[in-house]
Amino acid sequence: MKNYFIAKSRRLRSTPYTERIENQGVTAYSVYNHMLLPAAFGSLEDSYHHLKKNVQVWDVAGERQVEISGPDSAKLVQLMTCRDLSKAKVGRCYYCPIIDDKAGLINDPVVLKLSEHRWWISIADSDVILFAKGLAIGQKFNVKIFEPNVDILAVQGPKSFALMEKIFGKKITEMKFFGFDYLEFDGAKHLIARSGWSKQGGYEIYVENTKSGLSLYDKLFEEGKEFDVKPGCPNLIERIESALLSYGNDMDNNDNPLECGLDKYVNLDSEVNFLGKEKLKEVRNKGIARKLMGVIIDAKEINVTKSVELINEKNLKIGELRSGTYSPHFKKVIGIAMLNKPYFEVSQTFKISINDSVFEGKVCDLPFI
């Protein structure tokens, strides 16, 4: 596949760490929430192996925050998500599908409850702030909504625990998954969550004090030498093997959360009021017409830049591939696909055309392992 340059401009915002990662050899960018998101430091596969063994520091400032505070903040946040947040606790992160009144997915952020009347929505790639503002204005909610100056640094990989302990002390190793706390570095308190967009373990540091964040960035590389720390970024291979869904790639506004296997974050029998609730009840009653599933393809290479049709032995389209990669673990191409009813059975076979050649594939459950 031919490569193309990215045309940088102020509209594709830099992060406080952009200059550092460019000195460290970033080779490709994606754009995420109107911001540069590093996408490769040379070979994806080398980076994948490194992430699974060691520790990486990621500039994921593109995961912007929407801050919602004020007396009606809990009501507004709940209105936007099908997950019941009535028992949400301060100091915890919640993965929350955000849907519209037709139950179409708008985003799949992690919501942080900062206090009873203050929330951060740590968003995937869509302008959730505009949805929140529109709803709040329309409903005359008493809330304040803005994008705070927060740039996330992720520390990911099995050695992230040892590295973070060296800097922040024993306390950080006691943090539970999807918990967060405030820890001090260089005179500033940083919100640190045990979370991150890999399944290799680690933390996300929500940096508000940019100056302290920059010196923390440098400190992570200094203290991380003994763990072979490297700069990195969300890794396509690792995230597909781990079946971490990507909004905009695997699912979008034309899909509802039940089609995407997000059932455990859909609380239809709760008392809470959210958009799309009736629509989702209809979907549940009728059964879903499409389902997001895994696929394994007998091929050694793929570059998915748009939906690719999956065809059965009768030459019917049974679904579409939305993400894919060669997996060093499975030694085949694996991917995430939306399968049409009635073809979402495990072991359903299909054909797919990649670079003008036809390959055989098989449907499987997610996660892959």
- Chain positions contacting its own copies, by CB under 8 A: 1-14, 22, 26-31, 34, 39-40, 100-101, 106, 125-128, 130-140, 147, 236, 246-249, 253, 275, 303-307, 322-323
What is the rounded CA–CA span in Å between residue 339 and residue 361? 13
- Closer by beta carbon to its own copies, 13 or else 284: 13
- Closer by beta carbon to its own copies, 223 or else 320: 320
Sign of CA dihedral 191, 192, 194, 198: positive
Phi, psi of 31 (to 5 degrees): -120, 130
- Closer by beta carbon to its own copies, 207 or else 233: 233
Q: Report in angstroms how near the CB of residue 187 gets to its own copies at its nearest.
A: 25
- Closer by beta carbon to its own copies, 227 or else 238: 238
What is the rounded CA–CA span in Å between residue 70 and residue 92? 19
CA angle 307, 199, 366 (to 5 degrees): 45
Q: Report in angstroms how near the CB of residue 211 gets to its own copies at its nearest.
A: 17
What is the rounded CA–CA span in Å between residue 343 and residue 327? 24
What is the rounded CA–CA span in Å between residue 136 and residue 40? 38
- Residue 343: CB atoms within 10 A of its CB come to 19
What is the rounded CA–CA span in Å between residue 9 and residue 46? 30
Instruction: Please tell me the total number of residues recorded for the chain in this structure.
Output: 369
What is the rounded CA–CA span in Å between residue 364 and residue 221? 39
Q: Report in angstroms how near the CB of residue 28 gets to its own copies at its nearest.
A: 4
Q: Report in angstroms how near the CB of residue 135 gets to its own copies at its nearest.
A: 4
Q: Report in angstroms how near the CB of residue 334 gets to its own copies at its nearest.
A: 15
Query: For residue 183, what are the CA distances in angstroms to 176, 216, 303?
Result: 15, 12, 41
Q: How far does the chain reach from its first CA to its final CA, in angstroms? A: 29
- Spell out the long-range contacts of 181-186 with Cβ–Cβ below 8 A and sequence spacing 24 or more: 181/91, 185/212, 185/215, 185/216, 185/219, 186/212, 186/215, 186/216, 186/219
- Closer by beta carbon to its own copies, 126 or else 160: 126
- Closer by beta carbon to its own copies, 4 or else 177: 4
| DSSP assignment letter at 24 | T
Q: Report in angstroms how near the CB of residue 60 gets to its own copies at its nearest.
A: 14
- Closer by beta carbon to its own copies, 156 or else 246: 246
What is the rounded CA–CA span in Å between residue 337 and residue 247? 13
Q: Report in angstroms how near the CB of residue 130 gets to its own copies at its nearest.
A: 4
Q: Report in angstroms how near the CB of residue 131 gets to its own copies at its nearest.
A: 4
- Closer by beta carbon to its own copies, 6 or else 90: 6
